[in-house]
């Protein structure tokens, strides 16, 4: 039986806490550049996992909140905060139904999570509702492809890696989600990568606890792909290993 996303991530929370992909990346630094150096009252990360993005705001926010549907992820978030001597607030909830007061948060963020959301539009609407007027909503997530065939191949690889994956959405789809949530996009950057130089498929699958059979299918699909598809997906090969770029986009919007 296929596990739900919360069940899946509850079981592998420790792997994500130890994941170099989640702990740091150029997009975390880029988001801070885009948001600027000003002090904030409250920052909330939605589907926070171990909370690395939320914790990166500890020096500039009075309150740091992490929301996640998986209780073990929240335990990892609290442990990492405690190890750093930080006080945080952990809230168990789905992104599509946030138990947060309306108009209460300066910056609402989410990273490497919306591709698991059952309803990205509803999740963004909830994030917008929780944001203060003039506050910002930011998304860093896996980026899909405008080319349908390339997008479908990418999707097949992602689902083999993690069956709870719903979809990596294209830039145009993300613009639609933000528009539907009534948010005004200030910055929209596509074509980022979480791992300059790429992430080895073996490590990608280790983090996600991907079964051996699925790993073999991933490698078989890559081996069967055309040179054009390999180039389009940004895949490279080195020493008999496959490296993927973990391609992402960064969007920062304002709530009027």
Q: What is the DSSP letter of 3?
A: P
Instruction: Quote the CA–CA distance of 60 and 38 in Å, as a whole number.
Output: 7
pLDDT: is 121 or 8 the higher one? 121
pLDDT value of residue 121: 96
pLDDT digits (tens, 9 = 90+) for 124-149: 999 999 999 999 999 999 999 999 99
The per-residue b/e assignment along 3-38, b for 16 or more CB within 10 angstroms, e otherwise, is eebbebbbebbebbbebebbbebebbebbeeebeee
| pLDDT given for residue 6 in this prediction | 85
162, pLDDT greater than 70: yes
Confidence of residue 5 (pLDDT cuts 50, 70, 90): confident
The residues, ordered by sequence, that sit 6+ positions from 80 with a Cβ below 8 Å of its Cβ are 17, 50, 51, 52, 55
Q: Considering only 3-12, 108-117, 123-132, 149-158, which range has the smallest mean pLDDT? A: 3-12
Q: Is the pLDDT of residue 1 over 60?
A: no
Asked whether residue 3 carries a pLDDT value surpassing 90, the answer given is no
Beta-carbon contacts of 183 under 8 Å, excluding residues fewer than 6 positions away, are 124, 128, 137, 253, 254, 255
Q: How far apart are CA 236 and CA 241, in angstroms?
A: 8
Interval 190-249: pLDDT, tens? 999 999 999 999 999 999 999 999 999 999 999 999 999 999 999 999 999 999 999 999
Looking at 8-17, 94-103, 115-124, 227-236, which range is the least confident one? 8-17
Residues 55-102 pLDDT 10s: 999 999 999 999 999 999 999 999 999 999 999 999 999 999 999 999
Domains of the chain: 5-146+164-194+247-254 (3.40.50.150)
């Amino acid at each position: 039986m296929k596990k739900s996303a919360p069940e899946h991530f509850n079981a592998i929370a420790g792997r994500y806490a130890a994941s170099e992909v989640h702990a740091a990346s150029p997009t975390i630094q880029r988001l801070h550049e885009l948001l600027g150096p000003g002090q904030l009252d409250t920052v909330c990360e939605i589907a926070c996992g171990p909370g690395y993005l939320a914790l990166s705001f500890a020096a500039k926010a009075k309150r740091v909140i992490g929301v996640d549907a998986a209780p073990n992820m929240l335990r990892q978030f609290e442990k990492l905060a405690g190890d750093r001597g930080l006080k945080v607030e952990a809230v168990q909830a789905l992104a599509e139904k946030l138990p947060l007061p309306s108009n209460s948060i300066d910056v609402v963020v989410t990273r490497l999570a919306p591709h698991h959301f059952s309803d990205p539009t509803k999740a963004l609407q909830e994030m917008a509702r929780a944001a203060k007027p003039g506050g910002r909503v930011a998304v860093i997530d896996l980026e899909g492809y405008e080319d349908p065939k390339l997008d479908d191949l990418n999707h097949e690889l992602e689902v083999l890696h993690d069956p709870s994956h719903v979809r990596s959405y294209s830039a145009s789809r993300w613009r639609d989600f933000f528009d539907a949530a009534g948010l005004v996009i200030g910055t929209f950057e596509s074509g980022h990568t979480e791992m300059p130089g790429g992430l080895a498929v073996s490590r990608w699958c280790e983090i996600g606890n991907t079964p051996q059979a699925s790993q073999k299918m991933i490698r078989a699909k890559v081996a069967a792909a055309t040179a054009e598809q390999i180039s389009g997906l940004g895949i490279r090969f080195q020493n008999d290993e496959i490296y993927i770029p973990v391609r992402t986009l960064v969007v920062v919007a304002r709530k009027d």
